[in-house]
Amino acid sequence: MNMSIINQMIPDFSVEAFHNGEFKTITSEDVKGKWSIFLFYPADFTFVCPTELEDMAKIHDELLALGAEVYSVSTDSHFVHKAWHDASEAIGKVTYPMLADPTFKLARGFDVMIEEAGQALRGTFLANPEGIVKVAEVHDLGIGRSAKDMLRKVKAAQYVANNDGEVCPAAWEEGQATLTPSLDLVGKI
């Protein structure tokens, strides 16, 4: 993975999506103006993937309240997303847009494409309202992610963005103390 994606603009894109019972086009310009989570997964109708999308669906309202939207992404078509949404109890709970990436433009743009499989790795990316990537995390296919930890990362990224000069230490939770980097802290932590 090319970690240079941190502090870089999200790639330009225009893709079809399944969202709230409808097909729609979503572009890179549409996602700007709010915090955006891109949740890449290998394929619809699989095993770990529905557990992750359902887990994210459980906190979707909390994320929306923070001004953040989730965009799940696989290389399946928007038609397959609809069929999966209709067939799976877990995916039926998804209320965020399910982006279709059959041309692999997004997966390649975020550097999570498995070329020989035609699928994406489990990649999670958080972009700020300007479209700048602030969090990038990639998992092997057999390792599921935690939506609760993503919620924590959204809150931390928003805190840092709104509190110039402060940083969030490891496992920081909302309301806990932060750090202000200075010469006085060197060697004291």
Burial of 10 (0-12, 13-18, 19+ CB in 10 A): buried
According to DSSP, the β-strands at 68-74 and 35-40 are: parallel
pLDDT at 3: 52
| C-alpha to C-alpha distance for 66 and 162, rounded to whole angstroms | 13
Structural domains of the chain sorted by starting position, each given as residue range(s) with its CATH number in brackets: 3-185 (3.40.30.10)
pLDDT at 180: 84
Q: Is the pLDDT of residue 4 over 90?
A: no
Q: Is the pLDDT of residue 1 over 50?
A: no
Tens-place pLDDT, residues 69-103: 999 999 999 999 999 999 999 999 999 999 999 99
- Single pTM value for the model: 0.93
Q: Which residues are catalytic?
A: 49
Tens-place pLDDT, residues 115-141: 999 999 999 999 999 999 999 999 999
Tens-place pLDDT, residues 22-67: 999 999 999 999 999 999 999 999 999 999 999 999 999 999 999 9
Q: Which residues of 58-86 are buried (b: 16+ CB within 10 A; e: fewer)?
A: ebbeebeeeebbbbbbbbbebebbbbbbe
Where helices occur in 110-184 by DSSP H, the ranges are 147-162
Which amino acid is located at 104 in the chain? Answer: F
Q: Is the pLDDT of residue 13 over 70?
A: yes
